[in-house]
Amino acid sequence: TDSDLLISKGRIDRIASSIEASDGMEIIDADGAWLLPGMIDDQVHFREPGLTHKGGIRSESRAAVAGGITSFMEMPNTIPATVTLDALEDKYAVAAEKSLANYAFYLGATNDNLDVIRSLQPGTAAGIKIFMGASTGSMLVDNEETLAGIFRDAPALITTHCERTPVIERNLAAAVEKYGREIPVTEHPNIRSAEACYQSTVIAIELARQYQAPLHVLHLTTAREMELFEPGPMQGKLVTGEVCVHFLHFSSDDYPRLGNNIKCNPAIKTAADRAGLMAALKQGRLDIIATDHAPHTREEKAVSDYLKAPSGLPLVQDALLSVLELYHDGELSMEDIVRLTAHNPAIRYKVKDRGFLREGQWADLVIVDTAQETAATRQRVLSQCGWSPFEGETFRSRIVST
């Protein structure tokens, strides 16, 4: 709909079909463009502290804001890992100084910090992050008692990275047997396989049901897992599901062209999996779209050895633009996009007064023009790593202003 929106003291003061301009008001003419609540990205890796050669809270929050993301939730696999309350507090203190967007941080789980998890004050972390599969940083939680304890006692939303490490190790051993050290990156989705994802997601959901623990399963990648998630509106669900922008955009057909640059964990799977994720989004089996922004330097990604190339893609600056491609394709409505990128993460994570265009909420707003294009050039990349997996593509929208 066509409306005026008045911002006062950082909040949305009034929304009406026409608001009279008065003295001292700054007028932003967004005629013909969309005004959306800023994206709330529930999964990013901003690399500070300890990995600041890859990125930092200032550089990555800047890229996020340029891309229409106004709030982010950041993952614990930094150095040191965010597995103590002190480390968690330190991140909040750094972000207070450096972040250009709203922020929250996860407390990471390990095989031996259940006491720390129990002592977390509700509302002081985005959630608890469990790596139920090993990935960047060694934060694997594979002790069954500990896992059960987390699901039984966690005072916050549990979020999981679901990939079954023993399955991956078996697949990897078979690939090494076949290729030696020359494993082609096209094997990545066979090594970090759909089966590994499925088995782990089953375990996480069983634990959530058993202990009635709210669970949000991060970065789902396979069509088969979708049967594990309930269709319909998010409200009232114990278990929610997330998909990330790259899993809706790329498929295993892109490995020959993009190689290690699209290597991530879980792996980008087949075009059929991507279609399955898209169908699940429409059925409401997936509730949130996020990024899993995970920058690595160009040099780190450029190694020819598949085994040595780090996993993860820089995505925050292009995330909303890439989701808007689904609007242009007629796959998602603008209402769907706002629900999946703003309303639902705000509700799921109990973000106060953000995520909606509503009087009284914070004016976290993004103006998007779907009639102007954006060329994804390397020059425009604001992430410190200085590259984007979308380079060479043209998005059919533009982020005018955040």
The contact set with ligand DOR (CB under 6 A) reads: 45, 77, 135-136, 161, 264-265, 294, 311-312
Secondary structure class of 383 (helix, strand, coil): coil
Identify which of 277, 255, 286, 265 has the alpha carbon closest to the alpha carbon of residue 193: 265
Residue closer to ligand DOR (CB basis): 161 or 354: 161
Catalytic residues: 292
Strands (E), 106-206: 107-108, 128-131, 158-161
Identify which of 62, 61, 50, 65 has the alpha carbon closest to the alpha carbon of residue 104: 61
C-alpha dihedral sign at 221, 223, 227, 230: positive
CB of 51 to ligand DOR, least distance (A): 8
Q: Hey, what are 216's tokens? A: 């949000």
Secondary structure class of 149 (helix, strand, coil): helix
d(CA 377, CA 388): 8
The residues, ordered by sequence, that sit 6+ positions from 182 with a Cβ below 8 Å of its Cβ are none
CB of 55 to ligand DOR, least distance (A): 10
CB of 138 to ligand DOR, least distance (A): 11
CB of 321 to ligand DOR, least distance (A): 20
Q: Which residues of 344-373 are buried (b: 16+ CB within 10 A; e: fewer)?
A: bbbbbbebeebbbbeeebbbbbbbbbbeee
d(CA 368, CA 243): 22
Secondary structure class of 161 (helix, strand, coil): strand
Q: Hey, what are 266's tokens? A: 């879980």
Residue closer to ligand DOR (CB basis): 234 or 385: 385
Is the separation of the CB atoms in 396 and 373 below 8 Å?
yes
Is the separation of the CB atoms in 289 and 323 below 8 Å?
yes
Q: Hey, what are 288's tokens? A: 């949130």
Distances in whole angstroms, Cα of residue 75 to Cα of each of 126, 161, 223? 9, 11, 25
Is the separation of the CB atoms in 106 and 73 below 8 Å?
yes
Is the separation of the CB atoms in 36 and 311 below 8 Å?
no
d(CA 220, CA 162): 8
Identify which of 30, 3, 26 has the alpha carbon closest to the alpha carbon of residue 16: 3
Residue closer to ligand DOR (CB basis): 60 or 364: 60
Single-letter residue type at 330: G
Residue closer to ligand DOR (CB basis): 198 or 362: 198
Is the separation of the CB atoms in 309 and 301 below 8 Å?
yes
